[in-house]
DNA sequence: ACCTGAACACCGTTCAAGT
DNA sequence: ACCTGAACACCGTTCAAGT
């Protein structure tokens, strides 16, 4: 018992907490990541996380930053700017949806960590490569990142709510209106079939195209 | 005691529950709207809401739909399509931010109610008036509505987190990075001042302009 | 000096027990 | 037949009490 005295239990490396949080967040369950489940997973007291993170939101930020770091590594280095931004958009959409319990909050949390720095730098350099002015680089970084993250968070929320991957033709963005008293809304009646066939991934694709087209049209003007 | 027997307490009109929920949701507090606070507000049992709504999410949907209904009434009837869509965007951004406790969830909930029907019809008719094809009307409705709602929900979340309206120059979209080891990220270094001066309302304005410009460019092609 | 975990003040929701 | 509210299984977080 003498030799093991000083470090009988590991001192609970914060990186281990983040790793466990990332693992737990893969479950499509609103409560997959809680202080108690984290303690159970790590075999420590449920309140141990508060010695390393000021709040659960801070831990969620750290988990998202780790996810950003790993996602940034998946992006091929040399691609034309538009293909690279499309790839970044799709990869980040996917990792957010794959970690729904933290992805659902990505729309409202900046991580302020090294993973965020890496991906922001990557997006900015694509926009520079596209030939945008300094002002436009910053503006379109903001528009692009909020577009990707907000649609991905919404899709993460949908995955949590349905609690399973339902077939694409049942994941409706808008439900058909139940009541037939829609004479007051002729445009809604006219487009109701189109609206009910929308789904979140398609709306994300459309939104991403709109932003990338806007960037491309600015570069065409410049050259 | 005989005469008041049948309806001593009011039967708790669901519309009264929704009204109370809308009032409570004005507080910039994550827990402003709960079953217990609603019961306290209405003078009834905390679980009374579950006799009229299947879950708290369903009540939040009903509250948002009531907010949509009132917001739709604020939109001037006859305006050119672009000015009208800008007005709709600004009004909806504002009412979501003014009801942060439910607005924070608007990005992930469709209300499927009459308020939603009214505003969807209004947006669709603007897009028809702009001269878009049927397919483009549906697509750009989706892009436009998700843009407005996601930025507004993010701003509602920010209001809740700060718990008070802080001066605009302190509401940073991205925090300046704390560590100076940013040599690996030259684009981030180059644009760091621009990035830290971004705020949510400005990013919303930029995003809205991008979408409206995309619509306008399609109409210019058509005519 | 550092860590632990009992405890506080809440949640959303269910259902046995009442009127 | 309808409604009630006690109770269940959780939350995030704090801080008095220990080692």
Q: What is the pLDDT of residues A14-33, one digit of tens each?
A: 899 999 999 999 999 999 99
Whether CB of B9 is under 7 Å from strand D: the answer is yes
Mean pLDDT, residues A108-125: 97
User: What is the pLDDT confidence band of residue B30, given thresholds at 50, 70 and 90?
Assistant: very high
pLDDT band at residue B12 using 50, 70 and 90 as cut-offs = confident
pLDDT at residue number A3: 27
Does B121 reach chain A within 8 Å, measured CB to CB?
Answer: yes
For the beta carbon of residue A167, count every other beta carbon within 10 angstroms: 6
Provide the pLDDT for residue A185. 94
Asked whether the whole model's pTM tops 0.85, one would answer yes
Sort out which chain A residues have CB atoms less than 8 A from B205's CB and list them.
none
SS3 sequence of A124-149: HHHHHHCCCCHHHHHHHHHHHHHHHH
Partner A contacted by B50 (CB < 8 A): no
The secondary structure of A83-118 as a DSSP string is HHHHHHHHHHHHHHHHSHHHHTTGGG----SHHHHH
The answer, for A137 touching chain B at a CB cutoff of 8 Å, is: yes
User: When comparing pLDDT for A55 and B12, which is higher?
Assistant: A55
**pLDDT score of A183 more than 80:** no
| Arithmetic mean of pLDDT, B121-143 | 98
The larger pLDDT score, comparing residue A1 to residue A133, is at A133
Average pLDDT, chain B: 89
- How many angstroms separate the CA atoms of B188 and B219, rounded? 37
Task: List b or e across A136-155, with b for residues whose CB sees 16 or more CB atoms inside 10 angstroms.
Answer: bbbbbbbbbbbbbbbbbbbb
Nucleotide with the nearest C1' to A54 CA:
D13
The mean pLDDT value for A61-79 works out to 97
Please tell me which residue of chain A has the smallest CA distance to B200.
A142
Task: Tell me whether residues B206 and A158 touch, CB distance under 8 A.
Answer: no
Nearest CB partner across the interface for A210, out of B141, B143, B185: B143
Give phi and psi for B158, each to the nearest 5. Answer: -65, -40
Six-digit token pair at A138? 């910053």
Residue A21 CA, nucleotide D17 C1', distance (Å): 30
- What pLDDT digit, counting tens, does each position of B67-121 carry? 999 999 999 999 999 999 999 999 999 999 999 999 999 999 999 999 999 999 9
For residue A108, give the nearest of B157, B206, B211 by CB distance. B157
Q: Any chain A CB within 8 A of the CB of B163? A: no
In the numeric block, which tokens belong to residue B149? 């709602």
Find and give the residue nearest to D6, measured CA to C1': B47
In this model, does residue B1 exceed pLDDT 90? no
Q: How many of the other CB atoms lie within 10 Å of CB of B174?
A: 21
More confident residue, A175 or A111: A111
């Amino acid at each position: 018992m003498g030799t093991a005295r000083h470090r009988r239990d590991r001192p609970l490396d914060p990186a281990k907490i983040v790793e466990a949080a990332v693992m737990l967040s893969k479950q499509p369950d609103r409560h997959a990541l809680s202080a108690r489940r984290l303690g159970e997973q790590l075999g420590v007291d449920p309140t141990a996380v508060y010695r390393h993170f000021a709040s659960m939101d801070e831990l969620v930020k750290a988990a998202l930053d780790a996810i950003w770091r790993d996602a940034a590594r998946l992006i091929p280095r040399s691609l034309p700017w538009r293909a690279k931004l499309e790839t970044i958009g799709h990869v980040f959409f996917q990792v957010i949806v794959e970690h729904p319990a933290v992805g659902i909050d990505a729309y409202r949390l900046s991580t302020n960590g090294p993973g965020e720095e890496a991906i922001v730098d990557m997006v900015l350099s694509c926009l520079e490569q596209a030939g945008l002015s300094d002002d436009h680089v910053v503006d379109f970084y903001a528009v692009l990142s909020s577009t990707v993250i907000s649609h991905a968070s919404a899709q993460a929320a949908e995955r949590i709510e349905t609690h399973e991957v339902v077939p694409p033709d049942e994941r409706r963005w808008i439900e058909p209106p139940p009541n037939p008293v829609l004479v007051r809304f002729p445009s809604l009646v006219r487009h109701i079939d189109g609206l009910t066939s929308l789904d979140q991934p398609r709306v994300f694709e459309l939104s991403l195209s709109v932003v990338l087209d806007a960037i491309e049209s600015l570069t065409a003007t410049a050259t």
